[in-house]
Each structure stands twice: as C-alpha cells, then as structure tokens.
Amino acid sequence: MTATHQPPIGPLTELDTRYSSTDATATPWFEAVQHLDSAEIFWLSTVRPDDRPHVTPLLAVWVDDALYFCTGADERKARNLGANPNVVLTTGANALREGFDLVIEGEAEVETDEKALQRAADRYEAKYTSEWHFDVRDGAFWAEGNRAVVYRVEPKTAFGFGKSPYSQTRWRFA
C-alpha cells in the first residue's frame, strides 16, 4: 500500500507504507537532492557484457538535475556502459538507525557538451577541493594529461530510505 503525493513540480512522490513507520511521511524530492549534492561517495552498479554485475565506488556531483561521474575510457565501468547504459547509483550512511540512503536508477549518457562539462568540473572542484580540478576540452575532462569520459545520469526512478523514523519513498520521473 502506498500513500501518494504529487508536488506541483518534480517527480511523482510515493511513501511505501509497507516499509515505513506509522509516523513516517514521504521525503520531498528537494531533500533528496540536498543529500545527493552533499554525498561524497557513491556506489555505481553496472552490468558486464556477460551479464554479471559490477559495483565500484566513485565520486559524483549533482548538476543540472542529474548526477555526473567520470572514468577512463578503458576502465571496466566504461566498457560496461558501452554495452549497457543502465545504471544504479547509491549513496548514504552505513548505519541502521540514522542517516538517509538513496538509490538512483537511470541510463548513463556520455556528456560532451563543453558548457555542461564545465559546470560539472566546477562542481567537482567546489565539492571535493582543488585536488579534483579538471580541465574541459575535446568533450571530456582532462587531469594530469589523462582523459576522462564524463557520464550524465538523469534519474528515472529513485528511492529514499529514512531511518528515524523508518521510511521508504519512491520518486518517479516523467
């Protein structure tokens, strides 16, 4: 059973009452975005060409209503995405009774627009310090002579898991 709330702008927001405390309410999308914006580590799940799963930690930034991450073109995750762009990005707290966990489902698309890339590069540096400075050129990130492919993931469906009180919110995007 779910309790549904449709805000004027944004995704369809539903509280799954089967997995929520009786006093829980659906988490508004803007609160989830605050968590996405401040989270430092994300876990990326992709599918290998032989259908086995692959999960790896990485850094990501929230820009223009999407998560951006980068990787070398020859890395396993990039090869996986070349065969199957469906991904899940997760972040949160490894605690039972505190924090908020997020699961973002979508398709990873290579971002080559240099204005979008510059906004993402600026956000990386603002969020993770100058240690994560990227130059933008030729439709990619560059650092210390190395090229990184940049991916953009717009959420298709997202889940939020509150822990005090327990709640499970689902957001569905048009």
So where are the chain's domains?
Answer: 2-172
In this structure, what token pair is assigned to residue 11? 């995704």
Name the residue with higher pLDDT: 7 or 116. Answer: 116
> What average pLDDT does range 39-57 have in this prediction?
97
State percent of the chain over pLDDT 90.
93
The closest of 13, 33, 34 to 157, measured between CA atoms, is 13
Mean pLDDT of 5-22: 84
Check residue 33 and give its pLDDT.
Answer: 98
pLDDT exceeds cutoff 90 at 2: no
> Do the Cβ atoms of 140 and 112 come closer than 8 Å?
yes
Mean pLDDT of 117-122: 98
| pLDDT, position 81 | 98
Mean pLDDT of the chain: 95
Residue 70 has pLDDT above 90, yes or no: yes
Asked if residue 19 lies in contact with residue 168, where contact means CB atoms within 8 angstroms, the answer is yes
* 130 pLDDT higher than 80: yes
Mean pLDDT of 98-110: 97
Sign of the Cα torsion 106, 107, 108, 109 reads negative
Q: Which fold has domain 2-172?
A: Pnp Oxidase; Chain A (2.30.110)
Is the predicted pLDDT of residue 143 greater than 70, yes or no? Answer: yes
Structure confidence at residue 7 (pLDDT)? 46
Give me the mean pLDDT over the 135-157 stretch. 98
pTM above 0.85, yes or no: yes
